[in-house]
């Protein structure tokens, strides 16, 4: 369902286990200088977006104004909104700007700023299950693994939709599965592995006819698709499609906000009431969301990213990463690689029968790339921290890697 865990991630978890066995809470304060040294050391061990060598992540160097805004709001807690009416207003404005961008209706729509795509997807299915009191979810095989968590937590049964040769969900499978047991239908605008966009207008018609909620996961594609230029209008994927009832979009991916920041938009604001619980001792009588205490710095940071960039800023940023993606595709093809699907976004998968060997080889030389299992391939997410120079250097290293591990394995996306 999603990109294989990187060799880096595997190495790191082993290291952190060893360290935790040795460390205990100090008896006496260690002092600011020792603390600074320790944090500096840990920071050096972490990968740094600014070096432009990370091609396996959907996050990037956030906008500086967003980082600053986040620092200013470290104590705000929208779990108790009465104490921070200013941040609550910023949340409303963020939701309103995004409803406008994603074609929400003029009246009655709503949304929440959350911690990311996982929380947004779980929350959307939670609302749908409670509203319908049904037990099945119809979702594509390409759905992010956060949906597996949602299915498990909410005890819902999946009805899997197969993919076509371009990695998009097959409409006929929705027709087959959507019915009186369906609690929710899921479609993806920008899949994690391939960046594919499902045929959401057609899926929307099926959901609307059956009167079931349709949740669109645009965690990655949400800040790309509206800003694509020069290829004609992008396919409709958002609340413009009448059947779509909720949409997840992540400011901390292509939105240029720091982690954590996700947004869940709702066609009907009152959908939240299906998951509301009484919160009598807080400033609001009801709470409707998964978390209690909320890092509301995310709200301020998202507000800062949205307003500092505006439509123009996002358009420019998308044009830039798409140009770099084109260079990567051309460079890869010159090395004998073939794309699994023609990229529609800043994400490329090249067929390769042993991607983990290439990934590990690249990792040892300081490059973070990822791999996918179906179809077997090397995956590159070209995020805003990439530059023409780092793409050229990446291709040089890739050339060496491919002499040892030549490409092959042109498997199909369709399963
Ligand atoms: N929906 C889609 C389409 C996603 O791609 C992701 C995450 C999610 C939902 C879940 O979002 P959160 O992680 O914000 O909860 N996609 C990336 C992935 O799983 C997340 C990621 C980001 C992974 C940075 C690694 C990394 O370095 O691959």
79 near 294, Cβ under 8 Å?
yes
Q: Is the CB of 271 under 6 A from ligand 1?
A: no
Worst-scoring range by mean pLDDT, 69-78, 192-201, 330-339? 69-78
pLDDT value of residue 82: 87
Residue ranges matching CATH 3.40.640.10 in the chain: 64-308
Q: Is the CB of 262 under 6 A from ligand 1?
A: yes
d(CA 253, ligand 1 centre) in Å: 8
d(CA 58, ligand 1 centre) in Å: 7
> Percentage of the chain with pLDDT > 90?
84
The pairing of beta strand 110-114 with beta strand 286-287: unpaired
Nearest ligand 1 atom to alpha carbon 59? 24
Which of the listed CATH numbers 3.40.50.970, 3.90.1150.10, 2.40.10.340, 3.40.50.720 matches domain 48-62+310-404? 3.90.1150.10
pLDDT value of residue 3: 45
Mutate to test the pocket of ligand 1, among 1, 114, 115, 146 (most ligand atoms within 8 A of CB): 146
Mutate to test the pocket of ligand 1, among 58, 139, 246, 251 (most ligand atoms within 8 A of CB): 58
Q: Is the CB of 136 under 6 A from ligand 1?
A: no
Q: Is the CB of 187 under 6 A from ligand 1?
A: no
pLDDT grade, residue 205 (50/70/90)? very high
Q: Is the CB of 370 under 6 A from ligand 1?
A: no
Residue 14 has pLDDT above 50, yes or no: no
- In this prediction, residues 320-346 reach a mean pLDDT of 97
> Percentage of the chain with pLDDT > 70?
93
- In this prediction, residues 252-265 reach a mean pLDDT of 97
Q: Name the DSSP class of 4.
A: P
Residue ranges matching CATH 3.90.1150.10 in the chain: 48-62+310-404
Judged by phi (left if over 0) then psi (alpha if -120 to 50, else beta), residue 154 lies in alpha
Residue 415 has pLDDT above 60, yes or no: no
Q: Name the DSSP class of 186.
A: E
Residue 10 has pLDDT above 60, yes or no: no
Worst-scoring range by mean pLDDT, 18-22, 181-185, 380-384? 18-22
d(CA 192, ligand 1 centre) in Å: 7
Kindly state the tokens that stand for 216: 């669109």
Q: Is the CB of 60 under 6 A from ligand 1?
A: no
Worst-scoring range by mean pLDDT, 6-10, 210-214, 290-294? 6-10
Residue 129: closest CA among 185, 191, 204, 187? 185
Nearest ligand 1 atom to alpha carbon 250? 14
d(CA 159, CA 244): 19
Query: Does this model's pTM top 0.95?
Result: no
pLDDT grade, residue 235 (50/70/90)? confident
pLDDT value of residue 171: 98
| CA-CA-CA-CA torsion sign (191, 193, 196, 201) | negative
Q: What is the mean pLDDT of the chain?
A: 93
d(CA 398, CA 401): 5
Mutate to test the pocket of ligand 1, among 5, 124, 142, 144 (most ligand atoms within 8 A of CB): 144
pLDDT value of residue 9: 47
pLDDT grade, residue 198 (50/70/90)? very high
Q: Summarize pLDDT for 59-118 with one digit per residue, the tens.
A: 999 999 999 999 999 988 888 888 899 999 999 999 999 999 999 999 999 999 999 999
Q: Is the CB of 116 under 6 A from ligand 1?
A: yes
pLDDT value of residue 288: 85
d(CA 32, ligand 1 centre) in Å: 35
d(CA 295, CA 301): 11
Cβ atoms within 10 A of the Cβ of 409, count?
12
150 near 121, Cβ under 8 Å?
yes
d(CA 183, CA 132): 6
pLDDT grade, residue 2 (50/70/90)? very low
Q: What's the CATH fold of domain 64-308?
A: 3.40.640
pLDDT value of residue 413: 63
Residue 273 has pLDDT above 60, yes or no: yes
pLDDT value of residue 279: 85
pLDDT value of residue 229: 86
d(CA 160, CA 155): 16
d(CA 286, CA 249): 25
Q: Is the bond preceding residue 367 a cis peptide, omega within 30 degrees?
A: no
- In this prediction, residues 152-172 reach a mean pLDDT of 98
pLDDT value of residue 13: 47
């Amino acid at each position: 369902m999603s990109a294989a865990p990187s060799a880096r991630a595997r190495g790191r978890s082993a290291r952190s286990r060893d360290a935790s066995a040795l460390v205990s809470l100090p008896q006496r304060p260690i002092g600011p200088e020792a603390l600074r040294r320790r944090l500096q050391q840990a920071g050096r061990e972490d990968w740094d977006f600014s070096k432009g060598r990370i091609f396996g992540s959907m996050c990037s160097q956030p906008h500086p104004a967003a980082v600053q805004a986040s620092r200013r709001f470290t104590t705000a807690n929208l779990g108790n909104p009465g104490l921070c009416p200013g941040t609550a207003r910023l949340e409303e404005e963020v939701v309103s700007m995004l409803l406008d961008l994603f074609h929400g209706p003029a009246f009655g729509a709503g949304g929440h700023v959350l911690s990311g795509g996982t929380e947004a997807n779980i929350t959307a299915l939670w609302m749908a299950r409670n509203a319908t009191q049904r037990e099945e979810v119809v979702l594509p095989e390409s759905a992010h693994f956060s949906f597996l968590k949602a299915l498990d937590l909410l005890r819902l049964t999946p009805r899997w939709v197969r993919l076509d040769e371009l990695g998009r969900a097959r409409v006929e499978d929705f027709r087959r599965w959507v019915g009186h047991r369906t609690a929710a239908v899921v479609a993806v605008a920008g899949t994690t592995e391939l960046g594919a966009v499902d045929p959401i207008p057609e899926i929307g018609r099926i959901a609307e006819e059956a009167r079931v909620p349709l949740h669109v996961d645009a965690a990655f594609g949400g800040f790309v698709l509206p800003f694509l230029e020069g290829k004609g209008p992008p396919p409709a994927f958002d609340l413009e499609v009448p059947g779509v009832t909720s949409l997840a979009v992540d400011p901390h991916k292509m939105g240029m906000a720091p982690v954590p920041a996700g947004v869940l938009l709702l066609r009907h604001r009152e959908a939240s009431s299906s998951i509301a619980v009484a919160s009598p001792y807080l400033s609001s009588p009801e709470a409707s969301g998964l978390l209690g205490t909320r890092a509301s710095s995310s709200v301020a940071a998202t507000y800062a990213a949205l307003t500092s960039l505006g439509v123009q800023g996002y358009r420019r940023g998308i044009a830039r990463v798409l140009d770099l993606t084109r260079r990567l595709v051309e460079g890869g093809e010159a090395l004998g690689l073939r794309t699994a699907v023609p990229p529609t976004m800043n994400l490329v998968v090249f067929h390769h029968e042993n991607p983990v060997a290439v990934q590990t080889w690249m990792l040892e030389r300081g490059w973070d790339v990822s791999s996918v299992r179906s179809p077997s391939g090397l995956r590159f997410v070209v995020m805003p921290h990439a530059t023409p120079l780092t793409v050229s250097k990446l291709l040089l290293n890739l050339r060496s890697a491919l002499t040892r591990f030549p490409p092959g394995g042109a498997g199909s996306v369709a399963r």
